[in-house]
Amino acid sequence: MLGTIINSLSIIIGGFIGSSFKNKISDTYTETIMKGLGLCVILIGLKGALQVNNILLLIISLTVGTLIGEIIRIEKGIENIGALLESKVSSQSGIANGFVTASLVFCVGAMSIMGSLESGLSKNYSILYAKSLLDGIFAIIFSSTLGVGVCFSAISVFIYQGIITLTASLMKQFLITSVVNEMSAVGGLLIVAIGANMLDIKRIKVGNMLPAIFIPLLYYIFKCIISNFT
């Protein structure tokens, strides 16, 4: 859990640093900066998505995962948490937007998944240390436009990556390279969707798509079970 703790702290620190500049940047500059960040996020997502080797599995993962997410309304839950935080910090506005956007960006992606898995399987924190540095920088930039809500996304990162880390050892036999790559590819595609939201191209409920990341793992587990009975 050490890597996840440091990752969460880097987001909090970066968030507080960036939020101090929020009211010092004009709305025109803020909007332009956000569009630039959106393009960067899309590029990061594309690099991850291009790792895909099984297009059919990717399609199935997005379809089934999104269906699950829509049923349990993950996006609505994240928004409600953001709104709750905003109501508790009455002196700040826009916390919900910063919390939701930053939570999705920091939680979805190859480094988040692979770093947490490495942490749980071999106590290797190198990926999460690198992610901590990147997230800290992104937190500064995000919070300078989205505000202090970005800091609260550290809670999402801690819970999300912590769960993956703690359960990694239980799934060790199934977490082969091909499975992790497919999970990362799905995550990369979701990051592209986050970038599209930041560019106001089309509102996509990325939160409801989060279960799709874990469908390749469930598919492989199911495949192993079937093969044992044949």
pLDDT in tens, 41-96: 788 788 878 878 889 999 999 999 999 999 988 888 877 877 777 676 655 556 77
Q: pTM for the complete prediction? A: 0.74
d(CA 208, CA 176): 26
pLDDT in tens, 110-155: 678 778 877 877 777 887 887 888 888 888 888 887 788 888 889 8
Instruction: Note whether 71 and 208 are within 8 A (CB).
Output: no
Q: What is the distance, to the nearest Å, from the Cα of residue 7 to the centroid of all Cα atoms in its chain?
A: 13
User: What ranges make up the beta strands (E) of 98-223?
Assistant: none
| DSSP at 133 | H
Count of residues in the chain: 230
| DSSP at 76 | H
Q: Is 210 left (phi over 0), alpha (psi -120 to 50) or beta?
A: alpha
Among all chains, which residue has been given the structure tokens 């990061």? 44
